Amino acid sequence: MEPAMSLTGEVCVVTGAGGFLGKRLLRLLLEEENTAEIRLLDTRVQPQLLESLEDCRGDTELSVFEGDIRDAEFLKRSCRGASIVFHIAAIIDVKDAVEYSEIHGVNVKGTQLLLEACIQENVASFIYTSTIEVMGPNPQGEPVVNGNEDMAYECALKFAYSKTKKEAEQRTLQAHGEVLQNGGRLATCALRPMYIYGEGCRFLLGHMGDGIRNKDVLYRMSRPEARVNPVYVGNVASGHLQAARALKDPQKRSAAGGKFYFISDDTPHVSYSDFNHVLMSPLGFDIQKDLMYPLWLLYTVCFLMAMLCTMVRPLVRVVPPLNRQLVTMLNTPFSFSYQRAKRDLGYAPRYTWEEARRRTTGWLASELPTEREKIRAK
């Protein structure tokens, strides 16, 4: 493989810097690249985050930019003099709990304003963190096994989250080649990671908490045959770094610019529920043998709950704990290959499955006493 283009001396902006993936990307940039400055952009950046990066910051300046992604002036200030933007910030909502105007404002309008700030402030590269959920699964639950970027898949997205991420991704890719104020051109690409796991994953903590409440037996919400391929957070961060290097390289820039890439790794293909069990069985957790309820019953309950919530919506907004799209997502075989990212971006998983599993289970083990205590206190 050719040597990767270096980001030495670059000024990088990381939106959502205080989040699960953002933190991991910050550390990787500091460990791998001698950047001049990294700007941590978020609504709030905890002082502990900066302290945790002291051991690897070297000569890189770390600057905190706290503000709203929907504030155009704030974004222009954040991008002034920068050369690369990693746009990770988003509202993630798989239960349709957030008002559409709020999620659209952050996920779509925020992305559009950030792209405009990049054009006005001469930022050369823009990497957008998309999601596998812009692809589906569709309401019919049509399976995909080892899909790639060329495949056609009929999809009418139901989640506001999926729809807004899709729209923001499209705007990002359409902005590729836009003329900057200085006459240069903006290069963009989008990364579509699978379900991201690893140290700090709040969804894993939630499943562990449910298991504790159920006498250390994890709930089964996915059929074993509904195989997906989750991706480790360290490998997703690595994919972002490789994308930035590719967009800086004149040859790779023309190949990768304006395109999206699936980011997966060598995590075994299993259902979501079985994946939780793989990570938590060393901690003494068992898992239900069969689905909590037959699929037809789950869909019926979701339909009735949705009807009820619609009826009371004028008076009060009620968010059901389960919806049809979530049941479909949990029970559809849906896996994708990273070969195109390997070819165009030079991406390869940095962490093996064994190491990713060891690190994640180790973190869950460290959180287990606190989670048990919290549940006992209730």
What tokens were used for 144? 């995909």
Note the pLDDT tens digit of each residue in 319-343: 787 888 889 999 999 999 999 999 9
Q: How many CB atoms are closer than 10 A to CB 150? A: 6
- Measure Cα distances from 189 to 81, 130, 172, 231 in Å: 20, 10, 7, 19
Reply yes or no on whether the pLDDT at 313 is more than 80: no
Identify the three-state secondary structure at position 135. Answer: coil
Is-catalytic flag, 215?
no
User: Which of 163, 165, 248, 252 is the catalytic position?
Assistant: 165
Note the pLDDT tens digit of each residue in 205-245: 999 999 999 999 999 999 999 999 999 999 999 999 999 99
Note the pLDDT tens digit of each residue in 173-211: 999 999 999 999 999 999 999 999 999 999 999 999 999
Q: Which pLDDT belongs to residue 332?
A: 95
Q: What angle do CA 261, 262, 264 make, to 5 degrees?
A: 140
What is the pLDDT of the chain when averaged over all its residues?
93
Q: Locate all alpha helices (DSSP H) within the chain, ordered by sequence.
A: 20-32, 47-52, 72-79, 100-104, 110-120, 160-174, 202-213, 233-248, 250-256, 272-280, 295-312, 324-330, 339-345, 353-377
- Strand-pair partners of 62: 38
Q: Which pLDDT belongs to residue 320?
A: 80
The class of domain 11-201+229-269+334-357 in CATH terms is alpha beta
Identify the three-state secondary structure at position 304. Answer: helix
**Nearest alpha carbon to residue 245 among 12, 59, 57:** 12
* Structural domain spans, the chain: 11-201+229-269+334-357
The pTM for the full model equals 0.94
162-168: average pLDDT: 94
Reply yes or no on whether the pLDDT at 31 is more than 90: yes
Confidence grade of residue 4 (pLDDT, cut at 50, 70, 90): low
- The whole-angstrom distance between residue 344's C-alpha and the CA centroid of its chain comes to 21
Q: Which pLDDT belongs to residue 2?
A: 47
